[in-house]
């Protein structure tokens, strides 16, 4: 039977189906109230890992989650990401993993999330303009100071992951990956070999799974939705995968979490596996 929990870094136990908060509207008004309700419903339904980032509204998403959930129930963890900044005056995003910038972003995230320690902090992107040892070293210092518990990376290659692990222990990797897009299969394999959590984003290919005949056929056979099939496939594909599907609607949230109970047959899984062999 597919495990329903995973221990990130070997000790941070989370439910394997998490929640990605990126899509939650943060502007004042009815949509924001809906966002608060979705975040609270996720926790009510047993979600223990919620993913956000400084880049999601430049801190507004973090503030939204704190408003919705603080004080956080026992076992609920909000993971955030740093290493992205805004250009001036255009306001466009740019990589910024200078040690001083990372420290400032972590300090601000602590305040916005209303915590003294972020149990899992991920570097949103490696910054090609900053030596890897400086970027990872800064996060290691923050971990040693107790401000973050575990360090993760996002959108990295096998080589980058290996190089980072020579500097500090890496607890998670967050790369784009789903049933129809498996370009990072080698990274997933490296994570599995090392027991590193793999948090795929774009878990259901932005809804395109339902447009694929094979996925739709399996969904019809299983009495499930294509989204649920895509998530169930991820959960069974590797024991280190911790999907973080996102939505701004409670109905969709409940649909996503119900995927945990879906059991695909070996034949169905084999048919879905073959989708990754197509161009």
**Catalytic residue numbers, as ranges:** 56
Query: Cβ(128)–Cβ(89) under 8 Å?
Result: no
Say what angle helices 250-258 and 30-44 make with each other, to 10 degrees.
Answer: 20
Give the chain's end-to-end CA distance (angstroms, integer): 31
Q: Between helices 158-165 and 185-194, what is the axis angle to 10°?
A: 30
Which two structure tokens, joined as six digits, stand for 24?
């939650």
Kindly state the helix (H) or strand (E) to which residue 152 belongs, with its residue range: strand 148-154
Contact 235, 16 (CB under 8 A): yes
User: How many other β-carbons are positioned within 10 Å of the β-carbon of residue 85?
Assistant: 21
Cβ 208 vs Cβ 156: under 8 Å: no
Q: Is 19 strand, coil or helix?
A: strand
Cα separation, 37 vs 147, in Å, equals 29
Tokens of 275: 């989708």
CA dihedral over 17, 23, 27, 33, signed as positive or negative: negative
Name the one residue in this structure whose structure tokens are 């136990």: 13
Pairing of strands 172-174, 148-154: parallel
Residues 16, 8 contacting (CB under 8 angstroms):
no
């Amino acid at each position: 039977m597919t495990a329903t929990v995973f221990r990130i870094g070997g000790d941070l136990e989370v439910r394997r189906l998490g929640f990605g908060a990126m899509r939650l509207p943060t502007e004042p008004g009815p949509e924001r109230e809906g966002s608060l309700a979705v975040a609270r419903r996720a926790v009510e339904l047993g979600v223990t890992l919620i993913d956000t980032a400084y880049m999601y509204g430049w801190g507004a998403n973090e503030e939204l989650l704190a408003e919705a959930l603080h004080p956080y129930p026992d076992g609920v963890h909000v993971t955030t990401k740093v290493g992205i900044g805004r250009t001036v005056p255009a306001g466009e995003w740019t990589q910024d993993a200078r040690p001083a910038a990372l420290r400032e972003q972590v300090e601000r995230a602590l305040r916005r999330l209303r915590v003294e320690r972020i149990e899992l902090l991920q570097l949103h992107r490696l910054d090609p303009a900053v030596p890897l040892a400086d970027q990872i070293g800064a996060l290691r210092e923050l971990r040693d100071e107790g401000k973050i518990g575990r360090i993760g990376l996002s959108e990295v290659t096998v080589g980058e992951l290996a190089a980072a692990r020579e500097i500090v222990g890496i607890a998670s990797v967050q790369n784009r990956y789903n049933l129809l897009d498996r370009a990072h299969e080698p990274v997933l394999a490296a994570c599995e070999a090392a027991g590193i959590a793999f948090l795929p984003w774009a878990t259901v290919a932005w809804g395109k799974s339902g447009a694929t005949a094979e996925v739709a056929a399996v969904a019809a056979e299983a009495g499930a939705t294509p989204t649920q099939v895509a998530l169930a496939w991820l959960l069974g594909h590797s024991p280190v995968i911790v999907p973080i599907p996102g939505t701004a609607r409670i109905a969709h949230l409940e649909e996503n979490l119900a995927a945990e109970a879906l059991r695909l047959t070996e034949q169905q899984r084999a048919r879905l596996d073959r989708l990754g062999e197509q161009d």
